[in-house]
Amino acid sequence: MATLAERAKSLRPSASKMALDSVGPVVLAIGLTLLLHFVVGPAVGHSGTKILLDMGINIVLAVSLNMVNGFTGQFSIGHAGFMAIGGYTAGIVTYYGGYKLFGTTNPTGGFLGAGQWLFALSCIAGAVTSGFFGYLVGLPSLRLKGDYLALVTLGFGEIVCVLLTQSGAVVPASGIDAVPAWQLPYHVGGAVGFSPLPFYTNLFWVYLFVCITVLFAYRLKESNHGRALLSIREDEIAAEASGIAVTPIKVRAFAFSAAFAGVAGGLYFHLLGALPKPGELGFQKSFEIIIMVVLGGMGSVSGTILAAIVLTILPEVLREFSDYRMVVYALALVLMMLVRPQGLFGIREIWELGRERRKKARGSR
Amino acid sequence: MALLEVQDLHVHYGAVHALQGISFTVEEGQVATLIGSNGAGKSTTLRTISGLVRPSSGSIRFDGQHIGAMAPHKIVRLGIAQSPEGRGVFANLTVHENLEIGAYTRNDRAEVARDRERVLHLFPRLRERLKQLSGTLSGGEQQMLAIARALLARPRLLLLDEPSLGLAPQIVKTIFQIIREINESGTTILLVEQNAHMALRAANQGYVLEVGKIVLADDAHKLSQSDEVRKAYLGIS
């Protein structure tokens, strides 16, 4: 029999495969984003691009919420609150920070110019802030089981909205120098909304963050941590008895989920035609995201992506029905839930579906 | 020194005094069993040892170390794994994934792979069903999976909560056969059972629990011969 060290070595994937596994997705992601930005974007025109951008932001929101509601089985209904925190943080960075750096609040530099890098940075800042708040909210509430988390997150989302409504008016570029820097984060527009923010959001950045989110979620699901999350969803006590530190790992998942919602907020706030105001980021927005997750399948990354795509396009296609479109939309959802209550794909991925059916047929004998 | 030493353990669920000062020991390499009727506190005892329930007073020592106030995930790392009552398999995950979670606390991949082989050798039924969702397994297979999952944590002490619950007699026999095999390969076992007959046959040491107190403690064989046990638990007069 081979020694332990030899066996361990034989289990390790080859260096070339490891390199391909780690670099491959990154190369693919950058290729995809460049293709979207330079080829697909111009081809589908302005309105098509807008739909693609909305779609991307929805994918980030749905996939990130899926980490909590799907993988971990905890029901959060305050995702829009984290989106708001991320968006406002990012807005402060690009608007006030942009003015301090470039002397103007308008977009600066072309594709991948200085302004765009500041924008990317602002989204990351939004993610960090939002993730931090996710940690704070999750720490006490994730100790509780069941519906408590839903209530706490609902309350949290509303508190964020109310607080943002109370903020001061946006300082115009001409007046920024007169206001002390530490007071600037207070001036984010109140109920009117945070505008005019520079419109940095484009296909490249949106889909780069989409790729990062999806890769993160998928790799998480396939990892030991992901399996721990899934086991918590299945049976919390048995998970605990298997040596999983349930609360800390739930809080971590919640914080990461909030961080990606923060990224989506940053992308949304710098999107031409978006409405970056508290009223738009209330629980209605949260529910929109939940619907995507439920429809796609709680725990299925590919399912939520598909659901986000369908639910972004559906209202556009139904525009012909004008007044009736929300009715049709709602009916489609009800029908869907009746036919497939577990969502399109349950907790499995699209490509695993056929395999499972075959297995079941064989297993039942 | 005993591997597990429980001393004057009290547990309350709100106003209910579930365990009223129980003391017992489990010797290394042996099988000990707690028998008793519904509500006697058997499962509570196991859940307290694995950290899922907090004791109100008393001490639990594992290999000399106090574990009474420790979090469950730390206790697993010390070497105590539990197959919970009602099996608690992760229904929407495959058998393979369930086993992976069993080895969650371990980083030694090659050793885990070897243990997995060993466990699948014990439970050949599971090997046939590795890719199947564990919710679609039969009751007996789910019980096997729950034990297999606990074994993958490579415990020094295995806690089994009612492994015979709701299973056909033939399968109960198979499971107890495997429990003995697990013990023979060196794992100490604490077994909680309502099926006193099977439990006392498999065990070295037996304890009888009645409403939160240990009323009898003896060598398992002697216990099964004693009048009280025969009358109350084995249904033989």
Q: Would the CB atoms of B73 and A235 count as touching at under 8 Å?
A: no
Residue B85: per-residue pLDDT:
82
Tell me the per-residue pLDDT of A236-274, one tens digit each, with 9 for 90 and over.
Answer: 989 999 999 999 999 999 999 999 999 999 999 999 888
Whether residue A365 is predicted with pLDDT greater than 50 in this model: the reply is: no
Interface contact A8, partner B, CB < 8 A = yes
Q: Is residue A229 part of a domain?
A: yes
Residues of B in contact with A356 (CB under 8 A): 133
Q: What is the Cβ-side half-sphere exposure of residue A336, based on CA atoms within 13 angstroms?
A: 21
**Residue A363 pLDDT greater than 80, yes or no:** no
Other CB atoms within 10 A of residue A334 CB: 9
Tokens 């949304």 -> residue: A268
Angstrom CA distances, A257 to A85, A143, B89, stand at: 13, 17, 27
pTM of the model: 0.87
Tokens of A35: 């293709």
The pair phi, psi for residue A109, each rounded to 5°, is: 75, 155
Residue-level pLDDT at A5: 62
Q: How confident is the model over A323-349, as pLDDT tens digits?
A: 777 787 788 778 887 888 778 788 888
What's the CA gap between A4 and B181, in Å, rounded?
25
Per residue in B7-37, pLDDT tens?
Answer: 999 999 988 999 999 999 999 999 999 998 8
pLDDT-wise least confident of A25-29, B5-9, B92-96: A25-29
A140 beta partners: none
- Of A235, A244, A356, which is closest to B104 when you measure between CB atoms? A244
pLDDT at A347: 80
Please tell me which residue of chain B has the smallest CA distance to A299. Answer: B92
Higher per-residue confidence, A354 vs B153: B153
Cβ contacts (< 8 Å) between B114 and chain A: which residues? 7
What is the structure's pLDDT at A355? 59
CB contact under 8 A, B90 and A234: yes
Q: What CA–CA distance (Å, rounded) separates A133 from A146?
A: 21
Give me the number of domains chain A comprises.
1
B132 contact A CB<8A: yes
Nearest residue to B180 via CA among B168, B165, B198: B198
Angle at A229 between CA B105 and CA B156, to 5 degrees: 20
3-state secondary structure of A227: helix
Half-sphere exposure of A212 (CA within 13 A, CB side): 18
Digit-coded pLDDT (tens) for A275-323:
898 989 988 899 999 999 988 888 899 999 999 999 899 888 877 776 7
Confirm or reject contact between A3 and chain B (CB < 8 A): no
In this model, does residue A1 exceed pLDDT 80?
A: no
> Is A308 within the bounds of a domain?
no
Predicted pLDDT of residue A186: 92
Q: Which domains does chain B have, with CATH numbers?
A: 1-79+157-237 (3.40.50.300), 91-154 (no CATH)
Tell me which of A1, A230, A231, A356 to substitute to probe the interface with B (most B C-beta atoms closer than 10 Å).
Answer: A231
Predicted pLDDT of residue A3: 61
Residue A234 within a domain: yes
The CATH number linked to A71 is 1.10.3470
Q: Is residue A144 part of a domain?
A: yes
- Residue B112 backbone phi and psi in degrees, to 5: -60, -45
Nearest to A238 among B88, B92, B129 (CB): B88
In which domain, by residue range, is A270 found? 25-282
Overall average pLDDT of the B28-57 stretch: 92
Q: Cis link prior to A196 (omega < 30° from 0)?
A: yes
Confirm whether A68 is domain-assigned: yes
φ, ψ of residue A54 to 5 degrees: the values are: -55, -45
CA–centroid distance for B69 within its chain: 20
pLDDT reported for residue B237: 54
Residue A331 covered by a domain: no
Q: What is the pLDDT of residues B114-165, one digit of tens each?
A: 999 999 999 999 999 999 999 999 999 999 999 999 999 999 999 999 999 8
Q: In what order do the strands lie in the sheet with B65-66?
A: B16-26, B4-13, B57-62, B65-66
The string of pLDDT tens digits covering residues B175-214 is: 999 999 999 999 999 999 988 889 999 999 999 999 899 9
pLDDT at A97 > cutoff 90: yes
**A110 lies in a domain?**
yes
How confident is the model at residue A281, as a pLDDT? 92
The predicted-structure confidence for A142-197, as pLDDT tens digits, reads as follows 887 767 888 899 999 999 999 999 999 999 988 888 888 889 999 998 889 998 89
- How far is A195 from A275, CA to CA, in rounded Å? 9
Crossing angle of the two packed helices B139-151 and B169-184, in degrees rounded to 10: 10
